Amino acid sequence: MTTAEDVLSVAKAARVAAAELAPMPRSVKDAALLAMADALVANTTAILEANGRDVARDPDNPLVDRLKLDSERIEAMADGLRQVAGLPDPVGEVLRGSTLANGLQLRQVRVPMGVVGIIYEARPNVTADAAGLCLKSGNAVLLRGSSSARESNRAIVDVLAAAAQQAGLPPDSVQLVPGDDHESAKHLMRARGLVDVLIPRGGAGLIRSVVEESTVPVIETGVGNCHVYVDADADLDMALEIIVNSKTQRPSVCNAAETMLVHRDVAAEFLPGALKALQDKGVTIHGDAAVAEHGADVVPATDDDWAAEYLSLDLAVGVVDSLADAVAHIRQWGSGHTEAIVTRSLPASQQFVSGLDSAAVMVNASTRFTDGEQFGMGAEIGISNQKLHARGPMGLPELTSTTWVVTGTGQIRT
């Protein structure tokens, strides 16, 4: 069993590294990221061997797609690091400034958070994304992946840490938290004063556990119960392409669509073809009574379906009487992640956008675009559904805090 001393030891080492990282110039950090990218590609064989051992433990797991690596995914991880290296350094950016009547000059400046802990499930690509974003923003990073990916994560962190140190970053800038039992995660969650912020990435159970048990401040990445609404004034060919892409392009990720709502005025024309196209892609339809009228093999939808983040080839489908009903349904059942409307009506799109309270709203586009890389961030540390500090895909600026720098000429307060 992992002890508190094991975890606190790496946290203390990260604290030292963070102090050395904070003032480092962009050139050193970027060179390290590029070296890390090259090292990933150079060590592809070793990483795939480690990943194969992880996959072999549970090859029938429906989430194995998240776990499994191949040479293309490793190259994509490396490309993500290279993209982050090419982005502006947020550290030192002046957000606002002014000169007071007494002559004091004020500047609010971005600074690193310090030590960032990431607790995440399954996907070993998160290991590289998180390391790259944290280092570029001047933070030391503690990575606590799931037991299902322990061999993959260990191999990736070994490669990244060695390359980073050789390129001039402090030792212990990137570390894997020891252990893969709950005690390991719990000790990290209780390392207040050593770890500045925790970011959980995974299913609802993991996120809830971190939020409820942690004494370290948490940025809550969200569950993705994403919706696509087909409006009465939709281009139905476009709607079909968008829902098929949103659901099937990669169903095991948080920005995949889990519910489709269709306006009653176009249901008879749209649903028969749409349901068949989805079922031909292997999707199981969980529909209400109105949906069942337009397709075969529709499983009756329950409240659990409307609330579900399936992460699989399942889709809840409902017919609504109005755009307002669609918005009300999403506000009741949605997770605040990503919603999409397909419509040719500008007023309808405006009503949809203003009526919702989600981190991202798509107008005539797939939900799959809610992604840090797609948004030009290079990679993302997660997608936040909460409203404090960060919301939506979190890139480099979201991994910083601010310091007020006040410059005077001897002023004193009277």
- Considering only CA atoms, give the Rg of the chain: 23
Whether residues 230 and 118 share a domain: the answer is: no
Report whether 222 contacts 336 (CB < 8 A): yes
> What does the CA dihedral 274, 278, 283, 289 come to, rounded to 10 degrees?
10
pLDDT in tens, 29-55: 999 999 999 999 999 999 999 999 999
* pLDDT value for 1: 60
- The set of residues, in sequence order, having a beta carbon less than 8 Å from that of 264 and lying 6+ positions away, is 290, 319, 320, 321
Whether residues 144 and 278 share a domain: the answer is: no
- Give domain status of residue 412, yes or no: no
Q: How many CB atoms lie within 10 A of CB 282?
A: 11
- Give domain status of residue 376, yes or no: no
Whether residues 204 and 239 share a domain: the answer is: no
* pLDDT value for 201: 87
- Give domain status of residue 109, yes or no: yes
- Give domain status of residue 74, yes or no: yes
Give the C-alpha separation, 57 to 48, whole Å.
14
- Give domain status of residue 272, yes or no: yes
Continuous segment of H or E residues that includes residue 268: helix 264-280
Whether residues 234 and 264 share a domain: the answer is: yes
Whether residues 65 and 34 share a domain: the answer is: yes
Q: Residue 276: which CATH number?
A: 3.40.309.10
4, two tokens: 């508190």
- Give domain status of residue 387, yes or no: no
Give the C-alpha separation, 283 to 209, whole Å.
31
Q: Which of 338, 355, 90, 366 is nearest to 244 (CA)?
A: 366
Give the C-alpha separation, 395 to 63, whole Å.
25
- Give domain status of residue 389, yes or no: no
Whether residues 232 and 217 share a domain: the answer is: no
Helix 26-42 crosses helix 150-166 at what angle (to 10 degrees)? 130
Bridge-based pairing of strands 174-176 and 140-144 is: parallel
Q: Total domain count for the chain?
A: 2
Q: Residue 41: which CATH number?
A: 3.40.605.10
Report whether 268 contacts 407 (CB < 8 A): no
Q: Vertex 69, ends 309 and 256: CA angle to 5°?
A: 20
CA 364 to chain centre: 22
* pLDDT value for 385: 85
Q: Which residue segment(s) compose the domain that 283 sits in?
A: 226-369
CA distances from 357 to 176, 202, 381 (A): 36, 22, 22
- Give domain status of residue 378, yes or no: no
Where the chain has pLDDT below 50, the residues are none
Whether residues 310 and 328 share a domain: the answer is: yes
Whether residues 210 and 63 share a domain: the answer is: yes
Continuous segment of H or E residues that includes residue 176: strand 174-176
Give the C-alpha separation, 250 to 154, whole Å.
26
The whole-model pTM stands at: 0.86
* pLDDT value for 52: 95
Whether residues 231 and 281 share a domain: the answer is: yes
Whether residues 33 and 115 share a domain: the answer is: yes
* pLDDT value for 2: 73
Whether residues 188 and 253 share a domain: the answer is: no
Whether residues 104 and 124 share a domain: the answer is: yes
